[in-house]
């Protein structure tokens, strides 16, 4: 039996642990906004980067673990090198531990998602090169027409490498010596970075929909490829809405908004059409993967409305940099990306066997599903209200007065964050336990 599956499961396990830790640090940071001296041992300037980096790690670990699992099992392609997969895992894992330790010790030095000392960018780049080389060497052996999810994975892998280099270009004096140039490149890089992981996640969503619906035409459809090309264009232009306060060409902003909105709209249409094509029996058999994809569709719709409003220049000027932007980011990260990734986790846990054997804690998962989504709705609305309160604050208010004004919404935000954490624990703990059964079925010892 190939050891590839062993490694893919470790990626998935590490991703779920990263999400739990990320939510714990996020909850700590949320309460520090409303309770003075809450857990002073982990101040906000440490809790925030720990939260952000761990949640980003969750996205990449689950997406990568899914790709490592799906390619040999469902596409029938043996990996070019199983050894490179293991090296990738241990570099990723080892670097992650060092980054967490550096944050806890108060050692920073980076920017935004990558607030760790830039020296850690070297092993990350190296591990990603190994992943890219292994993926392309493997996938190029597939002579038939590539379904859209392969194109998405291939493009997401390539563009992550490019955007990660851009995000770290500030280390050069030519970039950091000019504040306008640095801000523009940084916002461009991080917007494109989100686009790169969106391609990995959306590709995973379409793969799961194809498998559940038993419809291979879905991933070869014109609509699916339209989403793919919109996603690529979004990588190039979708970041521009962040740069209203930075001098840049107006046409870039207009193209960015059109592409971003169209991408979400097309993804929602694909999921909607997919749901209509599945029989009631199939929906029941694949209940958990289906439910999480259904939830992602709802959050696509809600985030689309918010994004359309944020695309209006007059609203963007007031909302940018407020909690409204955070609401949009959290709606995308938790409501869309994480729901799709949870669908992938449970599809992998089910495998080729009866779902009930692995999901004997189904009541816990179902309860967690509803608690997660209801709490996320309150979380999202609290951030929106806090953002509106901040945007509409009088210019004569000082910062303390403005924060007191929005404190009730921040309180709701913090407590609903606890609901999200509990809901995800009800989902992830059974998933982690169920992973052991999958190991046993593959005749691999944990």
Give the three-class secondary structure for 111: strand
**117 closest CA partner among 94, 100, 93, 92:** 100
Give percent of the chain with pLDDT exceeding 70: 83
State how far the Cα of 446 lies from the Cα of 443, in Å rounded to an integer.
10
pLDDT: which is higher, 409 or 3: 409
354: CATH: 1.20.210.10
- End of a domain among 101, 130, 159? 130
Confidence of residue 445 (pLDDT cuts 50, 70, 90): very low
Flag whether 164 is in a domain: no
How many structural domains compose the chain? 2
State the number of CA atoms in the 13 A half-sphere of 349 facing the CB: 32
Q: Which domain holds residue 289?
A: 279-446
**235 closest CA partner among 158, 149, 316, 342:** 158
Average pLDDT of the segment spanning 269-281 = 63
Flag whether 396 is in a domain: yes
Above 90 in pLDDT, residue 15?
A: yes
Flag whether 376 is in a domain: yes
The segment with the largest mean pLDDT, out of 174-178, 348-352, 415-419, is 415-419
State how far the Cα of 37 lies from the Cα of 53, in Å rounded to an integer.
23
Confidence of residue 442 (pLDDT cuts 50, 70, 90): low
Flag whether 144 is in a domain: no
For the stretch 302-318, what's the b/e string if a residue is b when 16 or more beta carbons lie within 10 angstroms of its beta carbon?
bbbebbeebbeeeebeb
Q: What's the confidence (pLDDT) of residue 375? A: 95
State how far the Cα of 341 lies from the Cα of 424, in Å rounded to an integer.
12
Flag whether 189 is in a domain: no
Above 80 in pLDDT, residue 318?
A: no
Q: Which helix (H) or strand (E) holds 62?
A: helix 44-74
Contact 325, 387 (CB under 8 A): yes
Secondary structure of 289-327 as H, E, C letters: HHHHHHHHHHHHHHHHHHHHHHCCHHHHHHHCCCHHHHH
DSSP class of residue 245 equals T
Confidence of residue 242 (pLDDT cuts 50, 70, 90): low
- End of a domain among 76, 110, 130? 130
- pTM equals 0.89
Q: What's the confidence (pLDDT) of residue 407? A: 87
Report the chain's mean pLDDT, rounded to a whole number. 84
Give percent of the chain with pLDDT exceeding 90: 43
Kindly report the backbone phi and psi dihedral angles of residue 111, in degrees, each rounded to the nearest multiple of 5, phi listed first.
-135, 145
Give the three-class secondary structure for 114: strand
Interhelix angle 222-237/250-276, rounded to 10 degrees, is: 150
List pLDDT tens digits, range 93-138: 999 999 999 999 999 988 877 889 999 999 999 999 999 999 999 9
Query: What one-character-per-residue DSSP string does 195-221 give?
Result: HHHHHHHHHHHHHHHHHHHT-TTGGGS
Flag whether 177 is in a domain: no
Provide the token pair at 306. Answer: 């918010």
Average pLDDT of the segment spanning 259-287 = 63
State how far the Cα of 136 lies from the Cα of 130, in Å rounded to an integer.
10
Average pLDDT of the segment spanning 242-260 = 69
Confidence of residue 4 (pLDDT cuts 50, 70, 90): low
List pLDDT tens digits, range 341-367: 999 999 988 765 545 555 566 788 889
> In the structure, how many helices (H) and strands (E) does the chain have?
17, 0
Q: What's the confidence (pLDDT) of residue 355? A: 52
Average pLDDT of the segment spanning 392-403 = 72
**340 closest CA partner among 278, 270, 425, 436:** 270
State how far the Cα of 360 lies from the Cα of 383, in Å rounded to an integer.
36
Flag whether 304 is in a domain: yes
Contact 210, 73 (CB under 8 A): no
Q: What's the confidence (pLDDT) of residue 446? A: 40
State how far the Cα of 200 lies from the Cα of 135, in Å rounded to an integer.
13
pLDDT: which is higher, 282 or 145: 145
Query: Which residue matches tokens 């330790």?
Result: 101
- End of a domain among 130, 163, 189? 130
State how far the Cα of 162 lies from the Cα of 185, in Å rounded to an integer.
12
Q: What's the confidence (pLDDT) of residue 392? A: 78
Flag whether 43 is in a domain: yes
State how far the Cα of 173 lies from the Cα of 18, in Å rounded to an integer.
34
DSSP class of residue 239 equals G
Contact 379, 416 (CB under 8 A): yes
Q: What's the confidence (pLDDT) of residue 140? A: 93
Residue 399: exposure state from Cβ atoms within 10 A (0-12, 13-18, ≥19): exposed
CA angle centred on 89, ends 142 and 73, rounded to 5°:
35
Above 80 in pLDDT, residue 231?
A: no
């Amino acid at each position: 039996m190939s050891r590839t599956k062993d490694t893919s499961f470790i990626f998935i396990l590490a991703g779920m642990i990263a999400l739990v830790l990320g939510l714990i640090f996020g909850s700590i940071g949320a309460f520090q906004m409303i309770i003075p001296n809450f857990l002073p041992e982990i101040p906000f300037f440490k809790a925030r980067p720990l939260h952000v980096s761990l949640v980003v790690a969750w996205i990449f670990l689950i997406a990568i673990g899914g790709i490592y699992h799906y390619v040999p099992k469902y596409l029938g392609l043996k990996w070019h090198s199983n050894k490179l997969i293991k090296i990738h895992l241990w570099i990723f894992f080892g670097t992650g531990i060092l980054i967490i330790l550096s944050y806890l010790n108060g050692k920073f030095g980076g920017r935004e998602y990558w607030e760790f000392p830039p020296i850690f960018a070297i092993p990350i780049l190296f591990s990603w090169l190994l992943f890219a080389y292994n993926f392309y060497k493997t996938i190029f052996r597939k002579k038939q027409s590539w379904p859209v999810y392969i194109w998405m994975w291939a493009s997401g892998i390539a563009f992550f490498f490019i955007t990660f280099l851009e995000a770290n270009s500030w280390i050069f004096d030519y970039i950091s010596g000019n504040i306008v140039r640095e801000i523009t490149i940084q916002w461009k890089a991080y917007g494109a970075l989100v686009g790169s992981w969106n391609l990995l996640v959306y590709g995973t969503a379409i793969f799961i929909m194809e498998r559940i619906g038993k419809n291979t035409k879905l991933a070869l459809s014109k609509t699916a490829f339209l989403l793919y090309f919109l996603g690529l264009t979004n990588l190039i232009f979708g970041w521009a809405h962040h740069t209203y306060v930075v001098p840049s060409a107006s046409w870039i902003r207009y193209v960015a908004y059109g592409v971003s909105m169209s991408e979400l709209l097309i993804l929602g249409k694909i999921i909607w059409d997919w749901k209509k094509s599945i029989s009631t029996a199939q929906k029941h058999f694949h209940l958990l993967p289906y439910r999480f994809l259904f939830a992602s569709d709802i959050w696509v719709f809600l985030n689309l409305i918010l994004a359309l409003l944020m695309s209006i220049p007059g609203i963007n000027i007031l909302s940018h940099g407020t909690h409204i932007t955070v609401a949009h980011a959290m709606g995308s990260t938790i409501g869309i990306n994480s729901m799709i990734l949870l669908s992938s986790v449970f599809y992998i846990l089910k495998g080729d066997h009866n779902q009930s054997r692995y999901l004997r804690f189904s009541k816990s998962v179902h309860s967690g599903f509803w608690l997660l989504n209801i709490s996320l709705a309150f979380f999202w609305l609290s951030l929106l209200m806090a953002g509106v309160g901040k945007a509409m604050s009088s210019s004569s208010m000082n910062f303390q007065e403005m924060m007191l004004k929005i404190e009730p919404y921040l309180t709701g935000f913090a407590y609903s964050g606890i609901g999200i954490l509990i809901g995800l624990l009800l989902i992830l703990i059974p998933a982690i336990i169920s992973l052991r059964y999958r190991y046993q079925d593959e005749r691999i010892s944990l």
